[in-house]
Amino acid sequence: MAGVPMVTLSNGQLMPVIGMGTMSMVGPEATKPAVVEAVKAGYRHFDTAYSYKSEKALGEGIREALELGLIESRDEVFITTKLACGFADPSLVLDGIKASLRWVYEQGVSIVAKSFDKERMRENIDIFDWSLSEDESDKIGQLPQHKAVVFANVYGQHDVVLHLDAEL
């Protein structure tokens, strides 16, 4: 990514300091070609949100950029999103978190949920009372995954912790 400065995040991952926002006043149909053009111009950081209705078009633009050989892999692209205020109601957020926890569990990963709240502890255990449908699991499984544990995010940038993270 010639010319675009990068910032190092706490987990050591590099993120371009400039990104393309995908909220469009024109509509989501304008997003895909704009993303392809942005990749051509050198952008590798894209911002989206459910409320922008641009997530699908962003993914299609990234796929086209891959097919055109503009980028070699999804790993070259940094995508950020956010939870819109309208979705911040606990009843909406918790359902999403529960679905995520259940999906992680169904992938055979051990979960450590951190909470001192009695109700939240019960809600976390409730993920074992139901299953994702095959379609839901397939959809979530198609999302690009970077599976890793980064202890430095929790314990700080200490030599021993950084060594452990490097071994993962």
Which of 50, 52, 105, 155 is an active site residue?
Answer: 52
Give the amino acid at 163.
H
pTM of the model as a whole:
0.55
Cα–Cα distance measured from residue 35 to residue 65, given in angstroms and rounded to the nearest whole number: 8
Task: Copy the structure tokens of residue 168.
Answer: 């993962």
Low-confidence ranges of the chain (pLDDT < 50): 1-2
Q: Where does a domain end: 80, 99, 115?
A: 80
Residues 96 and 111 occupy one common structural domain: yes
What total number of domains does the chain contain? 2
Please check whether residue 26 lies inside any domain of the structure: yes
Q: Is 49 in a helix, a strand, or coil?
A: coil
Write out the DSSP string of 103-117: HHHHTT---------
pLDDT tens for each residue of 149-162: 555 655 666 677 67
Please check whether residue 23 lies inside any domain of the structure: yes
Residues 70 and 34 occupy one common structural domain: yes
Place of tokens 């379609």: 135
Residues 139 and 161 occupy one common structural domain: yes
| 52 included as an active-site residue | yes
pLDDT tens for each residue of 49-69: 777 778 888 889 999 999 999
Please check whether residue 1 lies inside any domain of the structure: no
Residues 75 and 95 occupy one common structural domain: no
Structural domain boundaries, residue 89: 85-167
Residues 89 and 163 occupy one common structural domain: yes
- pLDDT given at position 33: 92
Place of tokens 């070259």: 76
